[in-house]
Chain A
């Protein structure tokens, strides 16, 4: 067991973990922050994407100890201080960018990372960026549309709602 400390959504946290404990496991099992989901065991699905020092990271593919001293952001920290949805979250609701909700935390965290680097991505850039996030419900249509809308683009011409 080793002690690990980090900030998660701006709050200092620490815990004793095994060397093999993954960041996703630390968040879910040690901190009880179950918004970060684990949908696979080969770092393919992206349901577990969080931000580590500003970078989008698959938290199932990083040891908790590797995040020692880092600033971690999770889906629980995305809403604004009064609890209302942030721009990306609101766009996902407005454009029906989620169905079962399981991939959604990873999608929102990936979208936030994309828009930070590329504030007005094209459809093709969004689709390419989301290669590491699987969704089985939406056929991606409304996810791509929501991210375009969140970046301030007019999505009215995309025929279907």
Chain B
């Protein structure tokens, strides 16, 4: 029987009521009395030198408060990068400056050059057109391999080349890797592209800042997944402000998917300008502006080689990847192609020798950073495509080949720096085979063929590393931040509870799921527990939400803090019951003395904590506890996905006929929410596989800068999904045994789709072993007719 409350229940989301009635409070809904509006004049060329900029005409325009250029930000810090990657020779990555407004050069279409603050947005926009600007256009650096050549045009004149780092993980001895490949019975090689994407949360980014001369306090409202991180970065590295004078609020946030992790220039600008103009300043991105200023995702070009022995065991894996970082280092960009990508190349398989090589490139494009999955989709896509290709080349069943090479013993130390704590890859594959009715595929294929269509089945597995991770380890790997989280459990006198958490909810349903945990631990109704998040003036210092970490890390902090509360409450209960603390049990909201009928209710104990008349002298009054939780390891969700496509050989059009996901997320707090997270990830993964592509031309013009040009998945591009989460191997090192579920769908789905398309084409007698994403009708038709 499904539970109806607490851990394991599909409690309906309490946040839905405000969202369904138009009562949400998103950043663009916030207007501060007297606010001015900023419009950014952005570069319309990819690469150029600013030779002159004259703002005098703009300053004289109606309503203009002030016009800012790079000159106003000389001496102000730039946007910092939060992860220093060390290259394979031991040298630190090349780290260029990232100014708030362009200093001398523009480096991508959308790079902000000037900012006009005016009484209205229209006035600001009109005035921006009056800025007299001369830019000497320079050759655009777009192609990554060309950018890596000696003598290539430099994106940053003060760097020695366009290579941020040349990084390696795994087997460092090239001769050993070469020997494995030389001795292999079979080698499968694949060159592929992981297409550049734009996260496109439906809410564009917004920032509103106000400053009080009376108190010297700032408040910044911003569309962020991690308000404390934004405050720290902006105060410590950009504007040089004391944190206690700056409040950062991320209210209701309309989706993030990674792209709202990062500290952006616009946030720092409005904070700076609010003081400089002595007026609140608001910026709201248009969607077109979002396309050229939000950090993009993916954009890897890779060669992967898989070596197998005569029994089809994987014996070696080597990858060579060019990873696009864009024009500047965004907050976590350097970590994505390295520690979030190379470490995942073992996948679900016991390949003994792995070497991962990554060259990270500066180009004249928008910065690239984490997008749902962040490095792990790029790893999974390469690995699961090459495994499928190997199965085709060897004429073996792709599931059997995978099963044969599964890791089955845990904990398992991979050759690429991770220790998987738990998993059951055979069990999860069993679930997939049943849930997707793979036994019935042949009949479904026959039905499609009777209609003149080709039907393909694509399978893949994935492993991801979530709940990032022990601070001491990530620190050794170059992280410039700790990656713990925090929660404060404040019990009110009458027994209701406010939990202040470092995690941020922007669609994940924390306001519903987190109280399920606390209520379950105490045995009270979920409605008595409320989550407070998104405001640095209210919550403890936590690192926010990304990397599928909220419940695994922040939830663990919440459990620890709740345990402290319960421990203290037991002392009070023991006093009230005149019993030994060791004999006190808490169940269903009642403290009782073991083996007796003596009990006292949760509410009576909490009231006593705040009205401590009859009270143990050695115990402090009040009932409020904080815990910080730093995990001992990553968590390792895994899964197996199946996609069935129907392909029209006449047009090349691919339709997704069925998609089934079997995931192992360990323990699950709210199954309804977890299923929804997987649905959303699959939708984005299908989008990447079939539709989405962020395209630049050779001059660095962004060709896909609106929803007219960038093909977002729509309701009729996708089917109902089947999901099965009954394979559960709990995480061994966090108190809830949870692993995280936010990114799985986006990691596991693209290779399943592309493998299915290739299967369909091959079933039609066309020996096609590769096609790049997005698998558009024109690409399919070309492959079918080549």
Q: Is B124 close to A, CB under 8 A?
A: no
**Are B716 and A127 touching (Cβ within 8 A)?**
yes
Minimal beta-carbon separation of A160 from chain B (angstroms): 4
Instruction: Determine if B353 is an interface residue (Cβ-Cβ < 8 Å).
Output: no
Q: Number of residues in B with C-beta < 8 Å to the partner?
A: 62
| Alpha-carbon separation in the docked complex, A89 to B509 (Å) | 17
B683 adjacent to A35 (CB under 8 Å): no
Asked whether A133 is an interface residue with its Cβ less than 8 Å from the other chain, the reply is yes
A104-B707 contact in complex given A131-B715, A136-B680, C-beta closer than 8 Å? no
Task: Assess whether B715 is in contact with A100, with CB atoms less than 8 Å apart.
Answer: no
Given A136-B684, A160-B675: A41 and B287 within 8 A (CB)? Answer: yes
Say yes or no: A139-B684 contact (C-beta < 8 A), given A44-B708, A92-B16, A96-B672.
Answer: yes
Q: Is the interface of A mostly helix, strand, loop or mixed?
A: loop
Q: Are B288 and A131 in contact (CB under 8 A)?
A: no
A159 touches B715 (CB 8 A): no
A47 on interface, CB distance cutoff 8 Å: yes
Question: Do A137 and B255 touch (CB < 8 A)?
Answer: yes
Q: Mark B159-175, 1 if CB is under 8 A from A, else 0.
A: 00000000000000000
Shortest Cβ distance from A111 into chain B, in angstroms? 11
B476 an interface residue at 8 Å Cβ cutoff? no
Q: How far in angstroms is the closest Cβ of chain A from B656? A: 11
A50 vs chain B, min Cβ distance (A): 10
**What's the nearest-Cβ distance from chain B to residue A119, in Å?**
19
* B residues in contact with A161, CB < 8 Å: 10, 671-672, 675
Give Cα distance in the complex from A79 to B17, angstroms: 10
A37 to B284: give the CA distance in the assembly, Å.
12
Chain A, residue nearest B716 (CB): A127
- Once A40-B706, A44-B708 are accepted as A-B contacts, the answer to whether A98 and B684 lie under 8 Å apart by CB is no
| Mask of A51-86 contacts with B, CB within 8 angstroms, 1/0 | 000000000000000000000001110110000010
A100 contacts B253, C-beta separation under 8 Å: yes
Known contacts A104-B19, A159-B720, A39 near B203 by CB under 8 Å: yes
With a CB–CB cut-off of 8 A, which chain B residues contact A160?
675, 679, 720-723
Q: Which of B199, B286, B509, B681 contacts A139 (CB 8 A)?
A: B681
Interface stretch (choices B20-28, B56-64, B591-599)? B20-28
- Asked if A134 and B723 make an inter-chain contact with CB atoms under 8 angstroms apart, the answer reads no
Q: Is the CB of A136 within 8 A of B202?
A: yes
Known contacts A85-B17, A89-B21, A103-B202, A141 near B721 by CB under 8 Å: yes
Chain A residues lying within 8 Å of B686, measured Cβ to Cβ, are: 139
Cα distance, A45 to B707, chains bound together (Å) = 8
| B715 & A74 in contact (Cβ 8 Å cutoff) | no
Rounded to whole angstroms, the CA-CA distance of A124 and B716 in the bound complex is 7
Q: Mark A97-121, 1 if CB is under 8 A from B, else 0.
A: 0111111110010000000000000
Q: A135 at the A/B interface (Cβ < 8 Å)?
A: yes
Closest residue of chain A to B256, judged by CB?
A100
**Bound CA span A44–B704, Å:** 14
The CA of A16 and the CA of B407, in the complex, are separated in Å by 68
B71 touches A (CB below 8 Å): no
| Interfacial residues of chain B within 658-698, with CB under 8 A of chain A in the complex | 671-673, 675-676, 679-684, 686
Interface flag for B281 (CB, 8 Å): no
Residues of A within 8 A of B254 (CB): 37, 39, 100-103
Chain B residues with Cβ below 8 Å from A94 are 12
Which partner residue on chain B sits nearest A106 by CB separation?
B202
- Known contacts being A99-B507, A136-B684, A138-B683, is A85 close to B715, with CB within 8 Å? no
List chain B residues, Cβ under 8 A from A137. 202, 255, 507, 676, 680
Residues of B within 8 A of A135 (CB): 202, 715
Whole-angstrom distance between the Cβ of A18 and the nearest chain B Cβ: 8
Complex Cα spacing A29 to B745, Å: 38
Please tell me if the beta carbons of A131 and B202 are within 8 angstroms of each other in the complex: no
Judge whether A151 is part of the interface by a CB distance below 8 angstroms: no
How far is it, in angstroms, between the C-alpha of A134 and the C-alpha of B1 when the chains are bound?
Answer: 35
Specify which chain B residues have a CB less than 8 angstroms from the CB of A139 in the assembled complex: 679-684, 686, 713, 718, 721, 745
A122: min CB distance to chain B, Å? 12
| In contact, A158 and B720 (Cβ under 8 angstroms) | yes
Task: Establish whether residues B24 and A45, one from each chain, have CB atoms under 8 Å apart when the complex forms.
Answer: no
B393 close to A (CB within 8 Å): no
Q: Which of A20, A37, A79, A99 contacts B676 (CB under 8 A)?
A: A99
Bound form: Cα–Cα A53–B624 in Å = 54
Look across to chain A and name the residue whose beta carbon is closest to the beta carbon of B255.
A100
- Compute how far the CA of A130 lies from the CA of B257 in the bound complex, rounded to whole angstroms: 22
B485 adjacent to chain A (CB < 8 Å): no
Q: Mark B4-22, 1 if CB is under 8 A from A, else 0.
A: 0000001011011111111
A2 CB → nearest B CB, Å: 16
**CA gap between A110 and B286 in the complex, in Å:** 23
Q: Mark B513-547, 1 if CB is under 8 A from A, else 0.
A: 00000000000000000000000000000000000
CA distance A76 to B19 in the complex (A): 10
A108-B20 contact given A44-B707, A102-B255, CB 8 Å threshold: yes
Chain B positions within 8 Å of A127 at CB level: 714-716
Does A23 touch B at the CB level, under 8 Å?
no
A144: nearest residue on chain B (CB-CB)? B715
Q: Determine if A33 is an interface residue (Cβ-Cβ < 8 Å).
A: yes
| A93 and B13 within 8 A (CB) | yes
A100/B507 in contact, CB under 8 A: yes
A130 to B415, CA, bound (A): 47
Question: Which of B202, B509, B708, B745 makes the CB contact (< 8 A) with A102?
Answer: B202
- Determine if B202 and A47 form an interchain contact, defined as CB atoms under 8 angstroms apart: yes
Query: Which residues of the other chain, B, contact A38 by a CB distance below 8 angstroms?
Result: 28
Contact B706 A138 (CB under 8 A): no
* A102 & B287 in contact (Cβ 8 Å cutoff): no
B712 at interface (Cβ–Cβ under 8 A)?
A: yes
Between A37, A47, A105, A145, the greatest number of chain B beta carbons within 10 A of the residue's beta carbon is seen for: A37
Roughly how many angstroms separate A74 CA and B20 CA in the complex, as a whole number? Answer: 11
Tell me the minimal C-beta distance from B514 to chain A in angstroms: 16
For the complex, give the distance between the alpha carbons of A139 and B749 in Å: 12
Q: Does B621 contact A (CB under 8 A)?
A: no
CB neighbours (8 Å) of A36 from chain B are 22
**A45-B202, A89-B21, A99-B509 as given contacts; A134 in contact with B684, CB under 8 Å:** no
Interface string of B283-297 (1 = CB under 8 A from A): 000111000000000
- What is the 8 Å Cβ interface bit string for chain B, positions 711-737, against chain A (1 contact, 0 not)? 011111010111100000000000000
Interface presence of A149 (CB below 8 A)? no
Report chain A residues within 8 Å CB of B721.
139, 141, 160
Q: Which A residues are in CB contact (< 8 Å) with B21?
A: 35, 75-76, 78-79, 85, 89
Are the CB atoms of A128 and B716 closer together than 8 Å? yes
CB-based contact B680/A96 at 8 Å: no
Using Cβ atoms and an 8 Å threshold, which residues of chain B touch A105? 22
A95 to chain B, nearest CB (A): 9
The residue in chain B whose Cβ has the minimal distance to the Cβ of A34 is B29
Residues of A close to B13: CB separation below 8 A? 93, 96, 98
Contact at B203–A138, with CB atoms within 8 Å?
Answer: no
* A89-B20 contact, Cβ under 8 Å, with A144-B715, A158-B720: yes
B96: Cβ under 8 A from any A Cβ: no
B279: min CB distance to chain A, Å: 18
Query: Bound complex: CA of A44 vs CA of B290, how far in Å?
Result: 15
**CA A135 – CA B122 in complex, angstroms?**
29
A35 touches B23 (CB 8 A): yes
A96-B676 in contact (CB<8A): yes
Q: Which of A96, A143, A160 has the most CB of B within 10 A?
A: A160
Interface residue from A33, A34, A42, A143 paired with B26 (Cβ < 8 Å): A34
Q: Is B431 an interface residue (CB 8 A)?
A: no
- Kindly state whether residue B506 has any CB partner on chain A within 8 Å: yes
B201 within 8 A of A: yes
| 5 A-B pairs (CB sep. < 8 Å) | A108-B20, A123-B720, A139-B681, A139-B683, A160-B722
Other contacts beyond A75-B22, A101-B18, A136-B712: 8, CB < 8 A = A41-B287, A101-B24, A127-B714, A128-B716, A130-B716, A138-B679, A139-B682, A159-B435
8 shortest interchain CB distances as A-B pairs? A35-B22, A139-B683, A101-B19, A102-B254, A100-B507, A44-B707, A99-B507, A75-B22
